[in-house]
Structure 1
């Protein structure tokens, strides 16, 4: 295979990069104080119950202030919105406004292990699901937190930094559902364009290098040779790269990190673009409405609230909504685009009847813990920070993710998995970070028995659940959070599939790897009224502990006009309203066999090219459109 000289040079440069910062005592003092102070804040942090913070400071909302006119307004600086705004600002003659409800990312958000502290802070919106009928029995009122980032970089700044693109079959399905331009062959150039994959074993047919988004392995790399028993005992093969040709099998985890630091839409796209004279990034701004000319059904701009004042900004060309799978449908409905009964219920004038929020999809996951015969000694947090500064160690790999395993239990010959198993190692970190949860007492008691120095875990994900949830409005007031119904286990097949996954776990417990570590599964004592390992026992455990994975999609579904759930077309244009697009995971037509951050970046890259092409700006040959 021909290997481009530019690739060889780039890889040599990567290998020669020194990730070590100066190990000064002042740097360590600063980081230690930063982390410890935020640890303490997280322990007493109170989640907001609505958006009241934006409406304080004694501001008057009778006066609407002019925030200027731009060519494009992008709402939301998450993984997709960061890219859309940054790429559009590459056109010097265009003036871009990027509006974000949160504040800046910083040195704290750079540390991957600290993500749980971020989730217990103002960088998380504070959403909860509505009470669930068929699951979340281990949560108070059957409600779980739903984490979404409210910060520059969005959820990509507070998430698990996992980089999993999904499967060829997922994107080919998108195209087959009536979305030309979204097959795997169509979108692969975008994945390659955005990536900088740091690996000495890279398949150039499938992976990219030299892009803004760094993808790397934790350093030092774990020795996976002891996991060969997964092949010998279970017949699950090792694959070098689950983001390349094959996905079925087990593989080392890839992360959006560079020199051990988090890489997000903020760090990779927005910050490097902020020096451009045509790029206005405005933070701490809650968009409350899209301004739409009702006679022509044309988006003209947005209204937003900042520092207790209301503003209007106008767009000469387009408004692009990138608020994510919760906030994008909320903004559309508040603007009169949504289901007729929902709009009328809240006395919102109807601009366009549309099935906004009616097709919520998510992954569900369930975690099982194993006590091992090894005890990993604790290092001081200062020592861990030293390693972090050097680009290695525990703080660069939250939850110590070791491997991802993808299998299809329904069709052994299928190349598209239906389950994902994540193997998590011990996490010997002295500062125990509070977990954002809403557990009932007996679940808290179970969690308190987990030992970070000895215990491994396996988390199982349903990749293509049948259940369908909704996003609805609580009221027509933008201060109110939307109503999030993930409808967990609404389809009984989803609960059954997670139960069937426990058969794989039982086989895993017999592997040489598990035997060598003397794995003993932690009992779900809150289900001991059932015979251990019986179907009622596992159903009880799953319905108590399984929860949504914050991989929400499809609430502003892309599809042909005859699709009863489609809100946008294959160019992400909102049906029935001109100059309005949506670009984030809410447009996904179906779930992917991975996690949602990678496709969010993909959607941002492709959306930017679609917009450029529609406005006469040449794009890279072979990518669009």
Structure 2
């Protein structure tokens, strides 16, 4: 939404209205190290999945499903890791009948959006003139150097994972501007808020798309701001950019979706389409490790010293997202083949406070899940959260590849550079 508001208002030809259900970013959302506190907060929609039979079993099968309820959406609450995806995925999209979606063509748009601030990464695959700041963390916890060495010992090579080949180990590229999160609100919206043809309504929930039912054309939207309900009409077009969950919810509330499902909830059907089907999400397993008590880097993230360094100088531990290293691997061990598994290495006892001395976690992420789920309506009341069913591990192949990834994580951490940490689950 912020990107479109910027692009569409740039010519001055049209009046652009941006509607946001949440409010503005806060000082806390700006601090990279605080991202873990944002899930379940007032800037999160606080969604949970329907009960899963093979995931989140420690919580009765209910998985937390964070979505940004704030200007900038999920770019304001996520872990800030910037990953374009594998070039071969784009080539596959183009081969499926989508001209212009090949990696070479899409790379032009990445060049347009990206402002790479790390001189060690900036090359022909990146640009330094776009709106979206991308860089690497100024603060690097010492353990990441040892984890990097462990990746080399495992057999991976240093790589720019946003380049042509992803298989390898790399310091994470982050959507940060120096010591601060660089959300799409901050990079695309804040610099142009004074444009006279741009209007922004915050804390405004869009409840339904207004259609001309004969012509099947969107005319505007119904909204709620506080206790006031009203309609907004567009002279040109209505653009829906509410994200992977709220976009299908809003379409179904407006009568665009599976006919039988909408009839069950008393929603008048405009178009019988499989909206909400084919939900695909990257399932992951988090492995939490104990470290020996001599390693104190885990316990000095949140205290008066780190707070002072950040508040006064914008330096120190709080400038890090503490997920500074990533690795990509595949079962074929071929560098030009898309990865099957991604490791995120996260440091800090804030991740699991209930376990004393546990401060390293490895997220083993299946990058190409075969399971498919769906988003459906729970109610025709737009204020009621939708039903989110990712169907994690519904396809047994996802369980197999994740199991392989877990075994590789153990092998990765057996490197000599990690011996001093005495890692134990």
* TM-score, length of structure 1 as denominator length: 0.64
* CA offset digits 1:569-602 (Å, max 9, x no partner): xxxxxxxxxxxxxxxxxxxxxxxxxxxxxxxxxx
* CA offset digits 1:159-205 (Å, max 9, x no partner): 11111111111111221222222111111111111111112224532
Q: 1:347/1:280 Cα in 2 relative to 1: closer, same or farther (>3 Å)? A: same
Task: Find the counterpart in structure 2 of residue 135 from structure 1.
Answer: 55
Does 1 or 2 have the higher relative contact order (CA < 8 Å, sep 6+)? Answer: 1
Q: 1:203/1:394 Cα in 2 relative to 1: closer, same or farther (>3 Å)? A: closer
Aligned partners of 2:26 and 2:395: how far apart in 1?
Answer: 41
Aligned partners of 1:171 and 1:391: how far apart in 2?
Answer: 38
Task: Find the counterpart in structure 2 of residue 191 from structure 1.
Answer: 110
Q: Report matched runs for 1:508-587 at 5 Å.
A: 508-519=412-423, 521-522=424-425
Q: 1:209/1:229 Cα in 2 relative to 1: closer, same or farther (>3 Å)? A: closer
Contact 1:259 1:392 in 2 (8 A): no
1:97 paired residue among 13, 17, 32 = 17
Contact 2:150 2:413 in 1 (8 A): no
Asked if 1:449 is matched to 2:355, the reply is yes
Contact 1:408 1:414 in 2 (8 A): no
Q: 1:410/1:341 Cα in 2 relative to 1: closer, same or farther (>3 Å)? A: farther
Aligned partners of 2:370 and 2:158: how far apart in 1?
Answer: 29
Aligned partners of 1:515 and 1:413: how far apart in 2?
Answer: 28
SS of structure 1 residue aligned to 2:405? helix
Task: Find the counterpart in structure 2 of residue 204 from structure 1.
Answer: 123
Deviation at 1:410, TM superposition (A): 4.4
Task: Find the counterpart in structure 1 of residue 344 from structure 2.
Answer: 422
Contact 1:148 1:154 in 2 (8 A): yes
* CA offset digits 1:444-481 (Å, max 9, x no partner): xxx622426xx322111000100000000112221221
1:296 paired residue among 215, 226, 231 = 215
* CA offset digits 1:84-137 (Å, max 9, x no partner): 111101121200000000011122211122223322322111211011122221
Q: 1:193/1:464 Cα in 2 relative to 1: closer, same or farther (>3 Å)? A: same
Task: Find the counterpart in structure 2 of residue 111 from structure 1.
Answer: 31
* CA offset digits 1:263-309 (Å, max 9, x no partner): 10110011111100000000111111111101111111111111111
Deviation at 1:233, TM superposition (A): 3.2
Which 5+ residue runs of structure 2 have no aligned equivalent?
Answer: none
Aligned residues: 420
Task: Find the counterpart in structure 1 of residue 5 from structure 2.
Answer: 85
Aligned partners of 1:461 and 1:91: how far apart in 2?
Answer: 41
Asked if 1:230 is matched to 2:153, the reply is no
Deviation at 1:415, TM superposition (A): 2.5
SS of structure 2 residue aligned to 1:233? helix
Task: Find the counterpart in structure 1 of residue 249 from structure 2.
Answer: 330
Aligned partners of 2:30 and 2:37: how far apart in 1?
Answer: 12
Deviation at 1:228, TM superposition (A): 5.9
CA RMSD of aligned residues (A): 2.0
Task: Find the counterpart in structure 2 of residue 397 from structure 1.
Answer: 320
Which 5+ residue runs of structure 1 have no aligned equivalent?
Answer: 1-80, 436-446, 523-625
Task: Find the counterpart in structure 2 of residue 490 from structure 1.
Answer: 394
Aligned partners of 2:286 and 2:214: how far apart in 1?
Answer: 53
Deviation at 1:335, TM superposition (A): 0.7
Aligned partners of 1:225 and 1:267: how far apart in 2?
Answer: 31
Task: Find the counterpart in structure 2 of residue 214 from structure 1.
Answer: 133
Q: 1:451/1:245 Cα in 2 relative to 1: closer, same or farther (>3 Å)? A: same
Contact 2:375 2:388 in 1 (8 A): yes
2:405 paired residue among 487, 501, 512 = 501
Q: 1:235/1:210 Cα in 2 relative to 1: closer, same or farther (>3 Å)? A: same
SS of structure 1 residue aligned to 2:57? coil
* CA offset digits 1:218-276 (Å, max 9, x no partner): 1134566544643553211122x211232110001111111211110110011111100
* CA offset digits 1:488-519 (Å, max 9, x no partner): 11111111111111221232232112223332
Task: Find the counterpart in structure 2 of residue 250 from structure 1.
Answer: 169
Misfit runs of 4+, over 6 Å: none
Aligned partners of 2:412 and 2:382: how far apart in 1?
Answer: 49
Contact 2:165 2:336 in 1 (8 A): no
Deviation at 1:376, TM superposition (A): 1.5
* TM-score, length of structure 2 as denominator length: 0.93
Aligned partners of 2:122 and 2:55: how far apart in 1?
Answer: 41
Asked if 1:280 is matched to 2:199, the reply is yes
Task: Find the counterpart in structure 2 of residue 382 from structure 1.
Answer: 304
Task: Find the counterpart in structure 2 of residue 593 from structure 1.
Answer: none
SS of structure 2 residue aligned to 1:319? coil
Q: Which has the higher Rg, Structure 1 or Structure 2?
A: 1
Deviation at 1:393, TM superposition (A): 2.2
